[in-house]
Amino acid sequence: MPTTTPIDVDELVARHVPDVIAAAEAAYARTFHSRYPERPTDPAYGEEPFESGQVAFDALQQRGLDLDQPSTGGSIAGEVSPYGLRLGVTYPSVDPEALIAAAADALPPWRAAGPDVRAALCVEMLDRLGARAHELGLAVHHTSGQPRVMAFQAGAPHALDRGFEAVAYAHAAQTRHASVARWEKPGKQPTVMHKTFHVAPRGVEVTIGCRTFPTWNAMPGIMASLATGNPVIVKPHPATILPLAMVVEVAQQVLASAGFSRHLAMLAAESPDEPIAKRFATDPRVKLVDFTGSTTFGEWLEDNARQARVFTEKAGVNSIVIDGTDDAAGMFANLAFSFSLYSGQMCTTPQAVFVPRDGIDTDEGHLTFEQVGERVAAALDDLLEPAKKGVQILGAIGDPAIVERIEQARSLGTVVADSHTLDHPEAPEAVVRTPLVVAVNEGDVDAYDSERFGPIAFLVATEGTDASFERVRDLVRRRGAITFGVHTREDKVRAQATDLALDVGVSVSFDLTQGVYVNQTSAFSDFHATGANPAANASLVDDAFVAGRFHLVETRSHTARTGAS
């Protein structure tokens, strides 16, 4: 086990807490803010960052993980990359009872550390992960199958920024109330009481990670929980353990260096044939669960982990309404990218695109419904050919069920753009498929109204834009959605869309024709999900995401000594 260099906690608080406070200000202002540069060649990542990242990643395979936590002594085999590489790291097998007990035991000193120390150490964890961003990006790339640059951006700087945002909200929420107060009730003889307000964390947190975005979806819950004093147990998806194992390793390193128990952050690796999430989620000592994944399991958690506050992001059906556009070329290019990015394996990928069957008005004149389909197909070709370019956007498909799903979807309507295979020039084993786009009628609800995760989209012909909106209203109410896009030339249509968005609780992007995509949100400025529809019961990241992770416990006395601990 490498030695840990002791951390000067006071110095860390002095250095990091002002940044945390500034970050919270940015979050409340919703302006641009970022701590971890998204450009892979940013000077922050040193010279030749791709190469040094690869060296570090290879070395990691050799050295293995430095984790200190109760283990049953067994080991769980490493993942196989969708790009062919067999990962060399193995993971300790765990007994949930032992992990939960160790986590609960570690809580009191972390609670006593207070919001400033916890925030500073969380930032230190993020910064150390930031220094290993290329290595972390490769871990995401080689487990999730995300394309290389995307895996770097979404897996490292963007995920770390979301984690930093969670720390900022958590710190703000814990420090908004005075920690001590002198209460004087006026009167002939004023009554005086001295009061202390303590942040009491709820208890052990369990993060249940998802296959496609191991770090991005998990960092907010992990950081919000740690920052509010709750020990975290991280259970990654069995196909994408390594990125979160790195997060836990760094967290343990920082905790130990600052004199805290490593058991405040532990890894619960799971073998695919022995699921352990249910056991963790229903333990009476587990008081917080953060989950990203299927609606079925998300609802199971909500129904069964009743002793805990459960934050879930589940499936949904994301819609686009096309009413018209002032930039047809920009719109089609933007849509093609949204369908293609990471082969549609995103909870934010649009699936149902509603278009009046009489066509739309654009800067290029009227386009029929069929022409809209042709333009989408052309934009996809343009984006994804040659294969060398396409694979940088599509990445690889890890889950064989997705390929089957594409085959099944083909027969649901008229194929507008067929899905075909691309040969990955550097990874012959990688499964790469272009998006399938199928035209259907609005009455073919069965085709488009359940999530078909993967590179599958529907162009849905409707009576007109009013009908499109009614379909979206119904879809979001029943199925949920994380994203919603609208293209129009009319302010009144925008107002109509906004009313709809408020009624059903989904955010809207209008007229995206440039380099921002409906599937993407920026930490500190865009909320990811609203928490108001069936796709998610929480938003990343807002006050509600952190408020339920701790309680305020008061001690009061007429004298100033209240035995504060």
Nearer to a second copy, 405 or 478 (CB): 478
Q: Is 304 in the site for a second copy (CB under 8 A)?
A: no
536 strand-pairing partners: 313, 533
**Among the listed residues 60, 95, 93, the one whose alpha carbon sits nearest the alpha carbon of residue 75:** 93
Q: Is 188 in the site for a second copy (CB under 8 A)?
A: no
- The whole-angstrom separation of Cα 379 and Cα 352 is 17
Site for a second copy in 457-516 (CB under 8 A): 491-499, 501-503, 505-516
Number of residues located near a second copy, criterion CB under 8 A: 79
CB of 219 to a second copy, least distance (A): 20
State the pairing for strand pair 75-76/91-92.
antiparallel
- 420 in Cβ contact with 431 (< 8 Å): no
Nearer to a second copy, 50 or 527 (CB): 527
Among 16, 111, 148, 471, binds a second copy (CB under 8 A): 111
CB of 420 to a second copy, least distance (A): 32
**Among the listed residues 467, 470, 465, 497, the one whose alpha carbon sits nearest the alpha carbon of residue 484:** 497
Q: Is 441 in the site for a second copy (CB under 8 A)?
A: no
Binding mask 196-235 for a second copy (x = CB under 8 A): -xx-x-x---------------------------------
CB of 132 to a second copy, least distance (A): 24
- The whole-angstrom separation of Cα 100 and Cα 286 is 8
Q: Is 557 in the site for a second copy (CB under 8 A)?
A: yes
CB of 241 to a second copy, least distance (A): 32
DSSP-assigned states of every residue in 364-424: TEEE-HHHHHHHHHHHHHHHH-SHHHHHHHH-----HHHHHHHHHHGGGSEEEE---B---
Q: Is 312 in the site for a second copy (CB under 8 A)?
A: no
Stated as kind and residue range, the H or E segment containing 286 is strand 286-292
Among 102, 234, 476, 532, binds a second copy (CB under 8 A): 532
Q: Is 44 in the site for a second copy (CB under 8 A)?
A: no
Say if residue 386 is preceded by a cis peptide, omega within 30 of 0.
yes
Q: Is 548 in the site for a second copy (CB under 8 A)?
A: yes
Nearer to a second copy, 20 or 267 (CB): 20
Binding mask 383-422 for a second copy (x = CB under 8 A): ----------------------------------------
- 94 in Cβ contact with 69 (< 8 Å): yes
69 phi-psi bin (left φ>0, alpha ψ -120 to 50, beta other)? beta
Beta-carbon count within 10 A of 14 CB = 12
Q: Is 29 in the site for a second copy (CB under 8 A)?
A: yes
Q: Which one of 45-53, 61-69, 116-124, 187-195 is the stretch in contact with a second copy (CB under 8 A)?
A: 187-195
Site for a second copy in 6-25 (CB under 8 A): none
441 strand-pairing partners: 461
Q: Is 30 in the site for a second copy (CB under 8 A)?
A: yes
